[in-house]
Structure 1
Amino acid sequence: MPSAAAKPPLTILLASPRGFCAGVDRAIQIVERVLLKFGPPVYVRHEIVHNRFVVENLEAKGAIFVEELDQVPDGRPVVFSAHGVPKAVPAEAARRHMIHVDATCPLVSKVHRETERHHAAGRTVILIGHSGHPEVVGTMGQLPPGAVILVETVEQAERLEIADADSLSFVTQTTLSVDDTAQIVAVLQRRFPHLNGPKREDICYATTNRQAAVKAIATDCDGLIVIGAPNSSNSMRLVEVARAYGCPKATLVQRAADMDWRWLDGVWRLGITAGASAPELLVEELLAACRARYAVTIEEVRVTDENTVFRLPRALVA
């Protein structure tokens, strides 16, 4: 570790907004409230949000994370993750008379309702998203098998064949790249002029804002670090956005302990942001690790303020 006098200079451009969004904050609070109300153990189907630090903190309080309901013993409560679940999951929970609490982000629930409305109107539904992501699995699971067509890329949009092109709609995963999604939508609208879309775009405010903040600093950075998990869609999109907007040296780090400090060789202006499921504590941890090695100057670059708050389920409000 260099002495104070020997520390090389490092300017950190701190992107804002960053870190927790309202849906993530609500989901974590729901697990904590269920633990208080029913006592441990409380089961959670899938990671409540995609961040190991968050998951491990909740495990320490008595949460047990499982993949399916058959791993939950009778008589214990279960929480559904922020990403949403197929309709079959709450139906099975109800059949078993389980205490179940839905922590699905309200903005994901909005996409679920849109999907149902389009289907009820007799339209074929296209979902723009990433195959296998739990949010996509949950959204497709709102309708019968085969009723939703998944499109992941511009190339797939160009090749898509629809029997009734005049009765067609689209929805999107909430954590996609704003730019990539716009390109896919443009192709679909060109090929299918009668395409119905959401009244307000499905990509959530937090995803949009965090990508905008990265765009604002990318050209001014020699390197950019996104704090987040590799299975976090919104975090991975931030790395892609940084590279696309002028900072090719961009990487994902889960927390300061995972840093390879040689990666910062040649970096004098470092951008730092955090995905929507990464707590600010992990940002502070990385800043402290940087200060231990560099003479740090911090410049916060804020593109907008966020004040969105989602209410907790009524059953959990004292």
Structure 2
Amino acid sequence: MTQPDTLQEVLLAEPRGFCAGVDRAIEIVERALQRFGAPIYVRHEIVHNTYVVADLKAKGAIFIEDLADVPPGATLVFSAHGVPKAVRAEAARRGFQVFDATCPLVTKVHVEVAKLAKEGYEFLMIGHKGHPEVEGTMGQLSDGIYLVEDVADVARVHPRGDKLAVVTQTTLSVDDAAEILAAVKATFPHVREPKKQDICYATQNRQDAVKLLAPAVDVVIVVGSPTSSNSNRLRELAQRLGTPAYMIDAAADLQPQWFEGRQRVGLTAGASAPDVLVQQVILRLRELGATAVRKMDGVTETVHFPLPRGLGDRSMAEAAALAAADTSAGASSRS
């Protein structure tokens, strides 16, 4: 008996979609809108997702890149990616009421950079040029921090002294970052590594889930916006594992020809993609012939980050201090 060659089943990666940092950032904007009324100004997209940004715009958020576009006395939110020190200083100078939605795991990297810089360290930052998180972390220092995007970049770094530390963008490919870090350690044997890897628990978990998902399906769909670093890494990972993979912003982006001759589709979502988009994609896949939806076994994430003072019960400093403990809880759920 021949097997059917049309779409039969959707296999859902677990975990997928929103992480604790994204949940917190969106809630900060929504609570600020409720408490202070529209407009609320947000520096850069709060998270890299078209649907989320459009939804918050409809509720009264205004997204800007230049603080000169924010009127005096306004309420300003920093995005989840973090900001350079110069931006914080300018916001304070202009007298804005500021709520910081920087993910506490990114804040942890900023704190490490500031601490080690006082001890005379220079830094290698593994990350993607132009990404706001990279700009925010590198902007914690005026000099002495060098961007490394790939293995070849490592040889181009010429630190001034012997004290060198490495930090990492939190949303990188775990495998790519490990390869670059190996090159860093080979070139600079005494480099100081973070006590705990900078790549966040959610990025790790979603990539681990795709490593299980991709070999079990004929094609992988990643729900995520083009600007989302962690979503792009999921698509790249599936392709590296030999499975055709496509990243989409919404269900309308699905192309029927992707599923011709393929029985099983794997579905995941980047950490900034809301579940409503995943559900819409499932409905569209059913229209294209899928008759079953099955969830893979995977990690249950329990990490939660508190809101900043004025919108929640704790200050940003307390939120950052709790990040390591919360991440450890997330890590223990992986074991």
TM-score by length of 2: 0.90
Q: Deviations along 1:157-201, whole A, 9 cap, x unmatched?
A: 24433343x311000000000000000111111121111010000
Name the CA distance, whole Å, in 1 between partners of 2:217 and 2:155: 35
After TM superposition, the structure 1 = structure 2 runs for residues 17-166 of structure 1, keeping only pairs within 5 Å, are 17-144=15-142, 146-164=143-161, 166=162
Q: Does 1:211 align with 2:202?
A: no
* 1:181–1:315 Cα change, 3 Å: same
SS at match of 1:90: helix
Q: CA deviation at 1:243?
A: 1.1
Name the CA distance, whole Å, in 2 between partners of 1:301 and 1:121: 46
SS at match of 2:209: helix
Name the CA distance, whole Å, in 2 between partners of 1:246 and 1:218: 8
Identity of aligned residues (%): 54
Task: Choose which of 183, 187, 206 in structure 1 pairs with 2:183.
Answer: 187
The answer (yes or no) to whether the contact 1:79–1:103 under 8 Å persists in 2 is yes
Name the CA distance, whole Å, in 1 between partners of 2:226 and 2:167: 24
The answer (yes or no) to whether the contact 1:219–1:245 under 8 Å persists in 2 is yes
SS at match of 2:291: strand
Name the CA distance, whole Å, in 2 between partners of 1:10 and 1:179: 32
Partner of 1:252: 247
Question: Is the deviation greater in 230-239 or in 109-118?
Answer: 109-118
Q: Deviations along 1:219-270, whole A, 9 cap, x unmatched?
A: 12111010001110000000111111231x1111001012122222122111
Q: CA deviation at 1:150?
A: 0.2
Partner of 1:197: 193
Name the CA distance, whole Å, in 2 between partners of 1:188 and 1:9: 45
The answer (yes or no) to whether the contact 2:18–2:270 under 8 Å persists in 1 is yes
Q: CA deviation at 1:295?
A: 3.5
The answer (yes or no) to whether the contact 2:124–2:148 under 8 Å persists in 1 is yes
Q: CA deviation at 1:284?
A: 0.3
SS at match of 1:65: strand
The answer (yes or no) to whether the contact 2:7–2:264 under 8 Å persists in 1 is no
Give structure 1 stretches of 5+ with no counterpart: 1-5
The answer (yes or no) to whether the contact 1:176–1:233 under 8 Å persists in 2 is yes
Name the CA distance, whole Å, in 1 between partners of 2:176 and 2:290: 37
Partner of 1:3: none
Task: Choose which of 218, 221, 232 in structure 1 pairs with 2:217.
Answer: 221
Q: Deviations along 1:65-97, whole A, 9 cap, x unmatched?
A: 111111111122110100000011121111111
Partner of 2:227: 231
Task: Choose which of 225, 239, 251 in structure 2 pairs with 1:243.
Answer: 239
Name the CA distance, whole Å, in 2 between partners of 1:19 and 1:110: 22
Question: Is the deviation greater in 117-126 or in 274-283?
Answer: 117-126
Name the CA distance, whole Å, in 2 between partners of 1:307 and 1:119: 33
TM-score by length of 1: 0.94
Q: CA deviation at 1:140?
A: 0.6
SS at match of 1:315: coil
SS at match of 1:149: strand
**How many residue pairs end up in the alignment?**
310
Q: Deviations along 1:13-58, whole A, 9 cap, x unmatched?
A: 1101000000000000000011011100111110000001000111
Name the CA distance, whole Å, in 2 between partners of 1:156 and 1:30: 37
Partner of 2:316: none
The answer (yes or no) to whether the contact 1:212–1:303 under 8 Å persists in 2 is no
The answer (yes or no) to whether the contact 1:7–1:293 under 8 Å persists in 2 is no
